[in-house]
Amino acid sequence: MSRGRTVLGAALAASLLAVGSLAFDGSFAASGPPLRPPSLEHWFGTDDLGRDVFAGVVLGAARSLLVGLGTAALALSVGVALGVVAGYAGGFTDEALTRITEFFQVLPRFFVAIVVLTLWEPSISLLVLVLGLTSWTGLARLTRAEALGLREREFVVSARASGASFLEIVWRHLLSNLARPLLAATPLVAGQAMLTEAGLSFLGMGGSTGVSWGYLLQNAQPFLRDAWWMAVFPGLAITGAILLLSLFSLFGGEAIWKVVGGRLR
Amino acid sequence: MSPVASLVVKRVLQSVPLACAVGTLGFVLVHLAPGDAVIALSGEFAHEAVQDELRRSYGLDRDLSAQYIIYMGRLLRGDLGISYYFQQPVSRVILERLPSTLVLVVPSLFLSTLIGVLLGTLLAGSRRPRRARAVIAVAVSSNSVPVFWLAQLLLLAFSVRLGLFPVQGMVRARSELEGAALFLEITWHAALPLLALTLHQVALIAVLTWTNMEEELRREYVRAARSQGLLPGSVRRHALRNALLPVVTTVGGRMGALFSGAVLTETVFAWPGLGRLAVVAATNRDFPLVLGLFFFMTLAVLVANLVTDVVCGLVDPRIRTG
């Protein structure tokens, strides 16, 4: 499946770029005349303070990556853990966990984040905590449904009968069956987190904790008339990153499956 | 009681514990926040007198359970406290700005649903895989664009370059328009924010309608209806009714996303709604107002879910009775 390979290759290249951005040691300080259009010297032009927009986009990538990965990891751990317990235990535990999931589902993520970032000192770890704790519900429901379906399946019943412990069954049977749907769902969680982070920084709620794509777009807003490049390039970066994650969600899992060859089973 | 009425009652009763849980979350946040709960209830720069008054009225010198009961009682009465920045009740401040946000949210909800469903229905049943792939591609990419960047691009193209639409605001400064002229003025100013919000939603709804229609058109009852000589148009009408259910659920479930999109889009166009209010509240550390906005948005999501469920019940007798 060549489409899957292409997406996988693009995703790999982008991850390398993103990891590279973590090592980027350039600073986002004045480095040229203000409000200059893109040139060979400043690929994405300069902003109102003469800062290089390209450097800003690279620094923003690092932050976006941290928020996306952190949120996805947190949401995945909470969602899978609660989903497995709910689906496997059933009964009252399942009922209680389903109610809790419903509660977290109605919370408007964006406004919860605004409250927390206003009451506390904004930081990346706080943001990841809030976004992670409001993003796990979909993954939990997915896991629960899968666990419910597998509980009565013969290979699980026979594993249980032959004395396999709960954790062993979860690890060997549940998670290997869950790998594929989770591989499709988790990139979307990361993408949503990155979009939310961009929106919050755009409103100026990211605090003074470094450059982000949303901050660049907020900064571009008063200069739309004079400097289109200040808005266009950071926006393209966000869109590209989210688009890649969506494509990865659509095709990436299949491609990885081909490469791994179902060895997880 | 008619089935629909009992459905409404059931759903309302189900929302009550959720609403209480949301209030509890607010209480927990207020008490976990750094510094005194008084600060979280009054804003960071409130006067001594205001703080003393709050300490008394919220019973902050009493034990935690008493404080909780007082807090929840106030929330239930719709008392969200006093905004430190505006020196007015939070609920009044929010309700004053709500109409200008609804001017964006409601029409974009209707427009994107209408256009999306129309597009999706037109696409369904066509045997052109290439067109199908193009639609999915457009949907995936439009869903990847941050709505506020889309708004900035529209502003760049149509206001800055072409000069067709105003750059910001809801009406021109110092205009004293009335009636139809005022309506036209607001529509003219709202056009670009509306376009941004609608474009952002429409592809998703189109793809959803389309895939559901394809599924329905393959079902037995459609084949039966066709074989009995029903015209293609009325067959599609029957299929559409069934295909719309998941669309209604999705649109209703995106209320939170729609409001946050509106808040961000408002900021781009300096539109005087809840978005600008949120920014003012946060930058002035007006905690009661920030919390009030959060409660209000959660309530909006709860109500939207309720309406969605009831609409689904009206459309689908299986849900109504089941």
Q: How confident is the model at residue A192 (pLDDT cuts 50, 70, 90)?
A: very high
Nearest-angstrom CA–CA distance, A242 and A191? 5
What's the pLDDT score for residue A140? Answer: 95
Q: Would the CB atoms of A202 and B263 count as touching at under 8 Å?
A: no
Q: How confident is the model at residue B57 (pLDDT cuts 50, 70, 90)?
A: confident
Tell me: the pLDDT tens digits for A97-152?
999 999 999 899 999 999 999 888 888 999 999 999 999 999 999 999 888 887 77
Q: Is B285 on the interface with A (CB under 8 A)?
A: yes
Q: Would the CB atoms of B143 and A246 count as touching at under 8 Å?
A: yes
Q: Please check whether residue B22 is in contact with residue A106, taking contact to mean a CB–CB distance below 8 angstroms.
A: yes
Q: Is A257 on the interface with B (CB under 8 A)?
A: no
Q: How confident is the model at residue B94 (pLDDT cuts 50, 70, 90)?
A: very high
Q: Is A264 on the interface with B (CB under 8 A)?
A: no
Nearest-angstrom CA–CA distance, B258 and B200? 10
- Provide mean pLDDT across the span B224-250: 84
What's the pLDDT score for residue A239? Answer: 93
Q: Is A6 on the interface with B (CB under 8 A)?
A: no
Q: What is the ipTM of this complex?
A: 0.88
Mean pLDDT of chain A: 85
* Least confident segment among A131-145, B103-117, B200-214: B200-214
Is the pLDDT at A178 greater than 60? The verdict is yes
Q: Is A104 on the interface with B (CB under 8 A)?
A: no
Q: Is A110 on the interface with B (CB under 8 A)?
A: yes
Q: Which of residues 303-322 of B touch A (CB under 8 A)?
A: 305
Confidence (pTM): 0.89
What's the pLDDT score for residue A265? Answer: 44
- Provide mean pLDDT across the span B206-230: 86
Q: Would the CB atoms of B149 and A110 count as touching at under 8 Å?
A: no
Q: Is B151 on the interface with A (CB under 8 A)?
A: no
Residue B285 — left, alpha, or beta (φ > 0 → left; ψ -120 to 50 → alpha)? left
Q: Would the CB atoms of A195 and B264 count as touching at under 8 Å?
A: no
| % of chain A exceeding 70 in pLDDT | 90
- Provide mean pLDDT across the span A181-196: 91
Residue B125 — left, alpha, or beta (φ > 0 → left; ψ -120 to 50 → alpha)? left
Nearest-angstrom CA–CA distance, B110 and A16? 42
Q: Which of residues 159-218 of A touch B (CB under 8 A)?
A: 191, 195-196, 198-199, 202-205, 217
- Looking at per-residue pLDDT, the higher value among B119 and A207 belongs to B119
What's the pLDDT score for residue A263? Answer: 52
Interface test with A, best of B27, B41, B149, B199 (most A CBs within 10 A): B149
**Which range scores top for mean pLDDT: A111-115, B30-34, B57-61, B207-211?**
A111-115
Helix (H) or strand (E) holding B90: helix B90-123
Sign of CA dihedral B161, B165, B169, B171: positive
Give the angle subtended at the CA of B137 by the CAs of A234 and A237, to the nearest 5°: 10
Mean pLDDT of chain B: 84
Q: Please check whether residue A52 is in contact with residue A42, taking contact to mean a CB–CB distance below 8 angstroms.
A: yes
Q: Is A108 on the interface with B (CB under 8 A)?
A: yes
* Least confident segment among A25-39, A141-155, A224-238, B273-287: A25-39
| % of chain B exceeding 70 in pLDDT | 96
Q: Would the CB atoms of B290 and A118 count as touching at under 8 Å?
A: yes
